[in-house]
Each structure stands twice: as C-alpha cells, then as structure tokens.
Amino acid sequence: MLPPAGWSAPTGPGAAGRLGTVVAVPEETARPSEPEAPARRPRTALLLGLAGGILALDLVTKLVVVATLSDREPLRLLGGVLYLTEARNTGAAFSFAEGATVVFTLIALVVVVVIVRVARRLFSTGWAVALGLVLGGAVGNLVDRVFRDPGFLRGGVVDFLSLFDPYGRVWPIFNVADSAIVCGGVLGAVLAVRGIEFDGSRGRSEDGTDGTVDEEAPAAPTERD
C-alpha cells in the first residue's frame, strides 16, 4: 500500500522508534561462506603400500632363487652384464661388514620403528616414497636375519644379483631389498638437501630465511594514485 500524497518520513528524536530500527548487516556475514579447503591426508597408505610391494617382491625372488639356484652355476644374463647366483650375506647391504649380523639386525629394527612412528605425520609424497623403499627393504632383509640359518637374529640374507662378474668381484652381490634401501636413501638425501620436510613444507628458502609464509604478518604498504 502506497503512502498518501504529501506524506513524508518523520524526522527528529524518536523517529527511528516509530519506523523501526534498521540493523546494518556486516558485509562479511551477508556473503555466503566459502567452502573450506579439504584437509590434507597423511601419505601413510602410500608408504605402507610401497613397503608391502617391495617386501613381497623381495621375499618371492629369494624363495625362487633358493629353490632354483642352490648348488648351481651362476646364470648369465644380458651378455654378462648381470648374473644370477645364490649367496648368503651376514653383513649389511651389498655384503658390507660381514659377520656383524646381530648389530645390523638391531639397527634394522630401530629403523623400522622410527619409520612407523614418522608415518603418522608424513604429508610429503617424496618422503613417503623414500621411507617406503627403505622400510620394505629393511623388513625384507630382517626376515632373513630372523628366520634363516644359522639362527635367530644371525641368519644369512639371500643375495643373488651380481654385476659384470658371477662372483661379486666387480660389485658386491645384492638383492631387491638392498636396491630399495639404497634408492630410498638417495631420494631421502635429495629431499633433505632441498629442505623438504616430512609434512611437505620447505624448512629454509634459498635466501636462508624460513620458507613458510606468516599469515599474520602485515601487508606491505602500497602507493595510492
């Protein structure tokens, strides 16, 4: 219904009460809320999946080697670049420090525990791949040390890959687990040098300052026209 001709809005004290109070709605509340960015998920599944794949491949290849290459001459492949031969290693990867089986078994156990604890706060894909390779390889060799002869924690690890020589005289004989550990270690070193943390952030930028952005820092002043 339209107001009669000549009518004007009342002014002066009390006019707001007669017309009703007008409440200004802040612009922020008037706008529809923007959807929040989805929360990042830890890369635990990637780490464990890769570790499980490496472990399965390592165990299967060792079982095949023990079943088919025991007491047999090395198998020559790729024109002599690669040889398949069975060997037992009581040291670390690539037959390093043979005879210190118990020491390396305990070290492997510590590595496994540390990686499992880190997995809960792991958001970097690169670190998930690196630690997954190391975890799968460490567990693969750990299985041999626990269950193979000559006894618990002293078992010999099955190695079977030899480069350029059938008896490891050019390069130490190794296995799938050794390769995974070395590849994971190299990738981890690259990530560390680049300053990439487990959560995916960079610890330091190229100018030596903190690479993270401080959202509470005041904006730089700008010149007005």
Query: Who's near 91: CB < 8 A, 6+ residues apart?
Result: 97, 98, 99, 100, 101, 104
Q: Where are the beta strands (DSSP E) in 53-104?
A: 75-77, 82-89
159 is catalytic: yes
Instruction: State both tokens at 93.
Output: 């990867």
What distance in Å separates the CA atoms of residue 89 and residue 101, rounded to the nearest whole number? 9
What is the rounded distance in angstroms from the CA atom of residue 66 to the CA atom of residue 78?
A: 22
Give dist(CA 133, CA 135) in Å, integer.
6
Instruction: Point out the catalytic residue in the list 71, 149, 178, 199.
Output: 178
Helix (H) or strand (E) holding 163: strand 157-163
Crossing angle for the helix pair 44-68 and 176-193, to the nearest 10 degrees: 150
Determine which one of 58, 144, 149, 159 is catalytic.
Answer: 159
* Contact in structure between 199 and 106 (CB atoms under 8 Å): no
Q: Which amino acid is at 100?
A: A
* Catalytic status, residue 178: yes
Known catalytic residues are: 159, 178
